[in-house]
Chain A
Amino acid sequence: MLAIRHLTFAYAGAESRPVLADISLDIAPGEYVLLCGAGGSGKSTLCRTFNGLIPYFHEGTMQGEVQVAGRDTRTHSVGDLFAYVGLVFQNPAAQLFNSTVERELAFGLESLGLPRAEIRRRVAESAELVGITDLLSRPPGQLSGGEQHLVIIAGMLALHPRLLVLDEPFANLDPANVRRILTALRAINQRGTAIVLTEHRLHYALAEVNRLVVLHQGRIVQDGPPRAVLREDLTAYGLNLPLVVRIAQHLGLPEIPLTVDELMTTLGEAAIPPELLPQRPDVAVKPGAPVAQFEQVSFAVGGRNILRDINLDVYAGECLAIVGANGAGKTSLIRHLNGLHRPTQGRVLVLGQATRRARVSQLARQVGLAFQNANDQFFKFQVWDEIGAGARALGRYDEAWLHELAALFRLEPLLTRPPYRLSEGEKKRVAFAAALAARPDILILDEPTAGQDGHFRRTLGDLLHQLRLRGQTILLVTHDLDFAEQHASRWLLLAAGEVPATGHPWEVMADSAALARAHLEPTQAFHLHAALSAYAAQHEV
């Protein structure tokens, strides 16, 4: 179906190091492959060789060959191949260019030159399969991120491709949306379409796929059934392995479990080493004085309630995580802290002062906010100027402090480079340093782990630890509960603009009704902790 032989590729003009080195890969009809690897390992590049975008669209030097359904990609154009390999990219905004969902699904079929009746039939069929029939007449721009991805998938599916390729479809999606897409993909796969999926958060997809391919520095380093591959030593590859897999690897279990329940049955009498046991996340920080307060805050836009009756105290020196699904109101909440939003009712205090009349630039001295997309702020030609730009505008430029930040965020080798040419992980580090440049009392990070690999998560974890030792108050905004559990001592759970639970991460997760209302799933660590407690209780009796 797809046959790759000794493929080597280097982008034109880039450094001599090839992005893909001697790749050989066969994908058979009906396979479901998870392609993983750290950022920069070549996953996206490899996906783009499947339908001829490489070498036609992206120039470079290519050796070896790629065959799609018997057609060599060097002699067939993308226009000949796109109906065999459907490629779904990461950014939905750049893939939706029609006025309605219906037209979006029809677009590829129109390219194929199919008769009108067949186009209508296939649009209806693929919408049905993916479960978006009710969205057909809506403008795609108004849909949620998860729905937009489903529309793009349906658009590819309508072409009846033999292989569907998805490049990090889950990067910005919450668990409920990820499940929705996984369910659609399972149905597609069961009809015989092969699927290749790239993703960093392995625990979602591992149980779904029947093959795991690990890419490292442009080479395939592992390839096989997931449980077999996971038995190997994968530490060098920057993956974000699920906790149960790490425990099983450590214990050398013969069969690698993928879920907590599987682990509990395989475990038998073997004891989990204490360093891997889920630790109750620390609560060591003594709450200092509140630095920010929400008093019965409600916020509405155009008559629609975004936040309702929020009460919250943020204490000096704590790391608080605001967790919730896409669209729960997390970003709206934090935008109240620097005056980008003003409460419709109630009031917000920052360092004891109401934000209602304060200017955004005034609040920026107290609250440093790094938004999710670091590209939104880069306008200087050097990282160094970029970090200092905000502090300069605020009249708080302190060169010694900037040097300290550069060291802390390991940006020293990058200081003279243009920020928008960095890797996504490096960009995020620059944005975080910039948010701290004016020495704000509160640092807010909006979805800092979205789309990031295991290396980045560990680096960011270390950074947060360093900052907390210095007494920095931190707000994490995220739907990545694993990360929030490891690094925040307190959670505020948001569900549709309300707060169904708040407190220690494990207490919040123990409230399963609240968690379900927020459309989130408990972490493996919490799940395992609960299972172990239940096991211990049973054996005491």
Chain B
Amino acid sequence: MFALDPRTKLVLTLLYATLLVLSVQPAWLLAELGVLLLLILALRVGWRYLRWLRLVGAMTLFWFAIAWWSFDLATAALTSLRLLSLTSVFFLFFQTTTPEDLGNALVKTGLPYAFAFVLSSSLQFVPVISRKAQNIIDAQRARGIPLEPGWAAVRHYPALLAPLLIQSFQLADELAEALEARGFARPGRTFWRDYRMRFHDWLVLAGAALILTAAILLR
């Protein structure tokens, strides 16, 4: 899967997601999840998957409980299985494709570079902003403004949001300046990596399309 073009991986992910959405038999869904798990093991991202599952698993259980309460057990099991499989296929996609590769490959297909950059860099800044938020919470708590999780914090939210917004704007300004200083706006950008749809990319896509069509017909 590593050798595939990012675009191939994206289309594969979307096709697989379609298959998951269309599957109504629990046995099918289980088999499809099984295929994903095998892929995860084959790519040696099992540990990361487990760590990620701690978060998504809790979410899925929550969903399961709600669905059971409002519909019935069978619906709850089916929909939570589908939810878990859907999130797993995207997990797999992001494990094998960096956002930059995806963005740059899409640029080759005609997406303006600025869009691709926003796509890839916004993920880069998630940890920066979350660290900033943590620093702000600590700074405010240190002077007695209770921003620890809880009802009391709601009243004091401006103490978190105002510095976070001001600093995010400032960061955006500085980023724009730094980008400018490294030629972001200059036309004629090349890419360090080559993004080309090779024969096996097309082969894999054709196979996937066939399988999906067959699955829809057999349903």
Residues of A within 8 A of B (CB): 51, 53, 56-57, 77-80, 82-83, 86-87, 89, 91, 93-95, 97-99, 103, 106-116, 119-120, 123, 141, 155-156, 335, 338, 340, 360-361, 364-365, 367-369, 371, 373, 375-379, 389-391, 393-394, 420, 434-435, 437-438
Contacts and interface: CB of A to CB of B under 8 A. Distances in A.
Contacts of A80: 186
A53 B144 contact: no
Nearest to A431: B139
A158 to B, nearest CB: 10
Given A98-B100, A364-B144, A420-B166, A113 B190 contact: yes
Contacts of A89: 174, 177-178, 181
Nearest to A111: B183
B142 A97 contact: no
B6 to A, nearest CB: 13
Interface stretch (B17-25, B66-74, B156-164): B156-164
Given A108-B182, A119-B190, A340 B142 contact: yes
Contacts of A435: 142-143
A406 B140 CA distance: 20
B192 interface: yes
Interface in B169-192: 170-171, 174-192
Contact of A112 (B135, B139, B183): B183
Closest 5 CB pairs of A and B: A111-B183, A390-B143, A79-B186, A94-B174, A379-B162
Contacts of A95: 174-175, 178
A108 B192 CA distance: 11
Contacts of A360: 141-142, 146, 148
Contacts of A335: 138
Contacts of B186: 79-80, 82, 111-113
Interface stretch (B45-53, B55-63, B78-86, B123-131): B123-131
Contacts of B190: 110, 113-116, 119
Nearest to B192: A106
Interface in B28-50: none
B148 A111 contact: no
Interface residues of B, number: 54
B128 A107 contact: no
Contact of A371 (B98, B132, B142, B170): B142
B140 to A, nearest CB: 6
Contacts of B120: 99
Nearest to B178: A95
14 contacts: A79-B186, A82-B182, A82-B183, A89-B174, A97-B175, A99-B124, A103-B100, A106-B192, A108-B183, A111-B182, A360-B148, A375-B167, A389-B145, A393-B143
Given A141-B127, A379-B161, 20 more contacts: A57-B180, A78-B180, A82-B180, A93-B128, A113-B186, A114-B190, A116-B191, A116-B194, A335-B138, A360-B148, A361-B146, A371-B135, A376-B139, A376-B167, A377-B163, A378-B162, A379-B158, A389-B145, A390-B145, A420-B166
B138 A99 contact: no
Consensus secondary structure, chain B interface:
helix
A371 B183 contact: no
A368 B174 contact: no
Contacts of A123: 192
Contact of A361 (B141, B160, B161): B141
A377 B167 CA distance: 11
A393 B146 contact: yes
Contacts of A51: 181
Contacts, number: 170
Nearest to B167: A375
Given A114-B190, A375-B166, A98 B183 contact: no
Contacts of A109: 192
B100 A393 contact: no
A388 B144 CA distance: 11
Contacts of B183: 78-79, 82-83, 108, 111-112
Nearest to A107: B182
Interface centre among B183, B187, B189 (most CB of A within 10 A): B183
Contact of A99 (B99, B156, B189, B194): B99
B136 interface: yes
Contacts of A106: 192
Nearest to A152: B178
A77 B161 CA distance: 36
B4 to A, nearest CB: 19
Contacts of B177: 53, 57, 89, 94
B162 to A, nearest CB: 4
A335 B132 CA distance: 17
A94 B135 contact: no
B182 A113 contact: no
B87 interface: no
Contacts of A87: 181
B141 A376 contact: no
Contact of A377 (B99, B136, B184): B136
B174 A120 contact: no
